[in-house]
Chains A and B, each alone.
Chain A
Amino acid sequence: MASVLIVDDSRTSRKLLEGLLEKNGYNIAAIACNGEEAVSLYRQYHPDIVTMDITMPVLDGITSLKQIKQADPKAKIVMVTAAGQRGKMVEAIKYGADDFITKPFEPDDILNTFKRLLT
């Protein structure tokens, strides 16, 4: 059962994602409200996959992505974006983002992305 670290400053968004993933057999290793927590929790739990919101307070998603990838180049990180800004997506790819999912969440989109990255 693959483990997931969910990172989002929106409680609603975290809960929606958590519910979907648990329903589909994923184990939620940990949940972070900002990028700083995400880096710390990644080091602690080494989840199989991370969902990372881009726009967050304290430490944004792209900086957090960069730090996690520096510590573990094999980390699998899916960036989550509402706005789909091309500039941020290019930057995220540059720092090693593995894929993107957009809000509002489409369950099939998320599950297929996870399946692809974990096989």
Chain B
Amino acid sequence: MFFRLFGEFLLDRNIITEVELDELIEYRRNNRVRLGELALSLGYLTVKQTNEINLYQSRVDRRFGDIAIERGYLTEKEVSKIMDMQDEPYHLFSQGIKELNIMDQKDFEQYVSEYAENKGLSDEDMIHIKNGDLDLIAPSIIKTGNAPSEEVFLLLLRNIQRFISNDIYFAPPVKKTDYRVNHISFQEITGPFPMIIGLCCDNSELLTLASIYAKEDFTELDADSYDAVCEFINIVDGLFARKRSAEGIEMNLLPPTYCDSLMVTSDRDFYTMPVKINNAPITMFVAVKNSNIKFSKI
């Protein structure tokens, strides 16, 4: 997620190109952070020590950490700490931009600071973003002033990450009173927190989610691919309803459905939230149904 969130920021400012961002995303899929790079960035090793271990490692089939400990350059505790950090996307991004000759470390760190300032993120927020921890990142981005809708947006993102892809990018929710939709799958929940929850797209971007979720290669938005999107929404709404049920609040899920070419209007705000899944843009839709919301076929 850090790759997309920060990568899209750099792209918007023409600091990197789309090709470079694609290369970084591909790099992330095929690489891990090298222990030597991490140890160097933390100041645990010098460049000379890192090069020495790398050279030795190229001749023998032994792990970097074991060699470093044996030579007294690192302690077991330090190696353990570095190994925990290997999965942090921030460090992999840093390694990637250097290996792909996109920018140097100094510029990278400066842009990270600019990103934080631009998004109004605290140091703590940035730690969560660097770690790619969605549950900790989301509260600083998903702000609607309506707790159930915020919870649903987070549930949608969490389950996209769980079932569909970790390659996601999202922007803050937007309030609307009218919205033109080309393709939408949605479900109504009734009960004390009535809502309509949906996923929309302009062209056929929902096919990405449908194909991955159903483990089928859908090529067009038809009854079968929409069914997969509907079932995904049903799962997410079910998780919301189960949580309410545990609190003693009964919610009811109506069968999900889908439609093309709709105009959505309401006398109160509803929310849309853009998300990219594997670079395919879709929109999450949440309407709190105490408003006079209308779906009109165009």
Contact = CB atoms under 8 A, between A and B. Distances in A.
B263 to A, nearest CB: 26
A84 B238 contact: yes
Given A84-B238, A103-B234, A15 B214 contact: yes
A107 interface: no
Given A12-B228, A104-B163, A82 B234 contact: yes
B253 A82 contact: yes
A55 interface: yes
A102 B237 CA distance: 13
A56 B255 contact: yes
Contact of A84 (B245, B254, B255): B245
B231 A57 contact: no
Contact of A9 (B235, B237, B242, B255): B255
A56 B230 CA distance: 13
Interface residues of A, number: 20
A83 B255 contact: no
A24 interface: no
Contact of A10 (B215, B230, B254): B230
Interface of B: 163, 213-216, 223-224, 227-228, 230-231, 234-235, 237-238, 241-242, 245, 250-255
14 contacts: A12-B213, A55-B253, A55-B255, A57-B255, A82-B253, A83-B237, A83-B238, A84-B245, A85-B250, A85-B252, A86-B245, A87-B250, A103-B234, A103-B235
